[in-house]
Amino acid sequence: MASQSWFPIPKSSHFSLANIPFGIISTATNEVPRAGVAIGDHALDLAAFSAQNGFSSVSSIQKDLTVFAHHTLNPFAALGRPVHRQVRRFVQDLLRIDTPFPEILKNNKQLQAECLIPLNEVKMHLPMQIGDYTDFFVGKNHAYNCGVMFRGPDNALQPNYTHLPVGYHGRASSIVVSGTPIHRPKGQILANPNAEPKVPTFSPSKRLDFELELGAFVCRENKMGEPIPISEAGDSIFGLVLMNDWSARDIQMWESAPLGPFNAKNFGTSISPWVVLMDALEPFRTLSIQNDTELLPYLREEKNNVFDIRLEVDLAPESGPATTILHSNGKNLLFSFSQMLTHHSVGGCPMRVGDLLGSGTISGTEDGSQGCLLERSKNGKDIIKLSGGLDRTFLEDGDTVTLRGVCGTEEDGLVGFGQCIGRVLPTMSS
Amino acid sequence: MASQSWFPIPKSSHFSLANIPFGIISTATNEVPRAGVAIGDHALDLAAFSAQNGFSSVSSIQKDLTVFAHHTLNPFAALGRPVHRQVRRFVQDLLRIDTPFPEILKNNKQLQAECLIPLNEVKMHLPMQIGDYTDFFVGKNHAYNCGVMFRGPDNALQPNYTHLPVGYHGRASSIVVSGTPIHRPKGQILANPNAEPKVPTFSPSKRLDFELELGAFVCRENKMGEPIPISEAGDSIFGLVLMNDWSARDIQMWESAPLGPFNAKNFGTSISPWVVLMDALEPFRTLSIQNDTELLPYLREEKNNVFDIRLEVDLAPESGPATTILHSNGKNLLFSFSQMLTHHSVGGCPMRVGDLLGSGTISGTEDGSQGCLLERSKNGKDIIKLSGGLDRTFLEDGDTVTLRGVCGTEEDGLVGFGQCIGRVLPTMSS
Ligand SMILES: [Ca+2]
Ligand SMILES: [Ca+2]
Ligand SMILES: [Mg+2]
Ligand SMILES: [Mg+2]
Ligand code: NI
């Protein structure tokens, strides 16, 4: 049974009392970006709330109250998971129907008017300053399906695949918050892969795709040379967001050997604006995809190390209704974010607060659960029908892609990510 | 004939009047990092010089004098190449024997004492805050030699290699300034690549290597979605540094398929502290490696687009003399930094001030010009003799690797990079 709030929270809201996700907000009347939490269809402005002594009973945060006035969540994240936990619990207590602090907000209409802002009046910003961004590839069903397409079922996965979380460094500068449109990239494309000699053409990508992923933000530094042990990796993760790793498949095919994807990925990556804290996800721990390979000791951890997050993606053409084109789940991963982080640092790579780790595309095993169009359309061979009568193999200009993710039940209070939205704009002329 | 200075500059100095490279300095008496230029075996403290109205005759910099007090060169770089040019020329004029401004420094012993600091009393810092780091692979001789080793001469280079500057995203957090020691990484290694099944072991890297590269810093932003035309790419490059892209070859072999190197590279990258401005390198433009492939129009530029920089590398064991183990040249590249930058942004990737582009390993064609030990030792088969009687195939703990690069002649005044030094420390126990 969900905790009840004295504040109206729609039953279907992703932002129930059980969630309390953090983000960076601004408003027309105060354009300075600052921290907030989402609660129902409102944001609680933490900078304003803190300025009015709202946090005076949370001792652990007293000397750090300026973190809420910052334009990113980095300083709050850097305070560490025990502080995140206390602040989240305090906000939950504040909003409970039987709050022990009724005088702070429940009975203070003036502070409510000052601090509780309808989400439709809030502008969301990138929640973190992202130093380095790494994209992993641990959605095993996706890796297998793509491998089958290009190398056949016997060599679909590389020999290293089950031994380590495969990943590559991505481009931090092109990570944008949900709602930011994405220009279709142009680049070198090999029109006919079988032609000899192989001479590329130059054009806007004709195989533009999305990738359904989860992203994890780092909240603790390790010194260069000092790996993060698996037992401590969980304390280094602030929270999760939805992530759309936009991908140009034709550019990717031509450029990727031997050093991996480059321009095929660096033109844009979209993330949802509200960071769902690890504590909020704790009740939804579940089993990852089974790995029959015996892992090296540094990567071994308990098995219920991923999260049961129901994921779906809508595709809406420029004029026409949205169609939910896929359903997947956050548990479709071979390694956890803790394992990714431990592997990332095992050679001594220093992680910084605000670094972002992407999971890789999250696909199920059934038809309709593939996390990108490449997989879903079998590289353009199968047509995806949209409900307005149109069809798609890859994305067209004007298409809007919307990722959603949610845990739990309305009865217990949903713990959701809201949406990660991006619209495809034509290539810029230049 | 070199311009003469009223200030003593050793003839063999990399930092002649013809150079004037920029860096970030601090001293025991003023530990706040700030901008400086190198001149002979001294640094001119630009923060102190500026505070004493040293720049009062340089109109273009008047409203931006605080850039010199910043702890990175990013704000100075962001002022753009015309301003870099004016400031560099002014410093050259200031120091010329026939300076038009004798009262500012030449005849002002007190300001000299305040602003001219012996380099051996100066601590150097990372010159720029690096948002994103990209490593290219355009040293064609290196790419060919490594390709031959792993795939044979017929498939040494991928079909895309001559059509575009191949590159991948690297790790910004582990870029360190010359002098910072590097811990040997540990990681997953496939001891016997021919064994079946392929089961990795976990140990410190046994094939630790350096890579001799040049790095270029970006000084101008482009908006996301807007490519940088080749005609404007030169204005986006602030200057060059030496770069050692430390590499663990055994980790790299196992992890790199299919997404490229990851932990094999992200444990450390060293750069030289003084940024040599593009204007200082202008007299040393020369022909790149000839490319018989007709490039797509967006990558076409004039041919003398790389620089005649004499490069060499010393290897010194923990106790023993240094041996110069290789000589190469900055012209051994198939694409210029302008072409790398234009290609990087052609799909709309936004570049930011402070981004670093690495060239890839710079090898010549002759024996003794290979830019890394993998190539030089033919993956461990050939032994490299050191002058103290020791030999090497890969790096041992305690080894110090020193990169040097210099243009021009003592007569005209050397334009050099100084050194990029790194010492290998043992793997940290944990
Ligand atoms: Ca991806
Ligand atoms: Ca390299
Ligand atoms: Mg991306
Ligand atoms: Mg490196
Ligand atoms: Ni309201």
A163 contacts in chain B (CB < 8 Å): 188, 199-200
| B 114-153 near A (Cβ less than 8 A) | 131-132, 137
Structure tokens at B269: 């990258």
Average pLDDT, chain B: 97
Q: Is the pLDDT of residue A1 over 60?
A: no
pLDDT tens digits for B60-101? 999 999 999 999 999 999 999 999 999 999 999 999 999 999
Residue B44's pLDDT is what?
98
Q: Is A258 on the interface with B (CB under 8 A)?
A: yes
Residues that constitute the known binding site of B for Mg(2+): 245, 265, 269
A267 contacts in chain B (CB < 8 Å): 224-225, 347-349
Positions of B marked active-site: 142
pLDDT tens digits for B326-385? 999 999 999 999 999 999 999 999 999 999 999 999 999 999 999 999 999 999 999 999
Q: Quick one: average pLDDT of B97-113?
A: 97
Q: Is the pLDDT of residue B430 over 80?
A: no
pLDDT grade, residue B136 (50/70/90)? very high
pLDDT grade, residue B151 (50/70/90)? confident
> Contact B173/A257, CB-based, under 8 Å?
no
pLDDT tens digits for A405-428? 999 999 999 999 999 999 999 998
**Nearest CA to A202 among A185, A220, A222, A180?**
A185
> Contact A350/B137, CB-based, under 8 Å?
no
Residue of B nearest to A348 (CA): B267
pLDDT tens digits for A353-375? 999 999 999 999 999 999 999 99
pLDDT grade, residue B303 (50/70/90)? confident
Q: Is the pLDDT of residue A2 over 80?
A: no
> Contact A260/B259, CB-based, under 8 Å?
yes
Q: Is A177 on the interface with B (CB under 8 A)?
A: no
| B 22-81 near A (Cβ less than 8 A) | none
Q: Which helix (H) or strand (E) holds A202?
A: strand A201-204
pLDDT tens digits for B238-283? 999 999 999 999 999 999 999 999 999 999 999 999 999 999 999 9
Average pLDDT, chain A: 97
Residue B134 Ramachandran class (φ > 0 left, ψ -120 to 50 alpha, else beta): beta
Residue A347's pLDDT is what?
98
> Contact B257/A298, CB-based, under 8 Å?
no
Q: Is the pLDDT of residue B3 over 80?
A: no
pLDDT grade, residue B234 (50/70/90)? very high
Q: How far apart are the first and last CA of chain B?
A: 57
Residue of A nearest to B150 (CA): A258
Residue B270's pLDDT is what?
99
**Nearest CA to A99 among A1, A4, A16?**
A4
Q: Is B179 on the interface with A (CB under 8 A)?
A: no
Q: Is the pLDDT of residue B193 over 80?
A: yes
Q: 0.90 exceeded by the pTM?
A: yes
> Contact B248/A349, CB-based, under 8 Å?
no
What is the percentage of chain A residues whose pLDDT exceeds 90? 96
B164 contacts in chain A (CB < 8 Å): 188, 200, 255
Q: Is B268 on the interface with A (CB under 8 A)?
A: yes
pLDDT tens digits for A129-139? 999 999 999 99
Query: Collapsing DSSP states into helix, strand and coil, what is residue A323?
Result: strand
B256 contacts in chain A (CB < 8 Å): 258
* ipTM of the complex, rounded to two decimals: 0.97
Distance B341 CA to ligand 2 centre (A): 16
**Burial (0-12, 13-18, 19+ Cβ within 10 Å), B206:** middle
> Contact A224/B183, CB-based, under 8 Å?
yes
Residues that constitute the known binding site of A for Ca(2+): 135, 211, 213, 245
pLDDT grade, residue A430 (50/70/90)? low
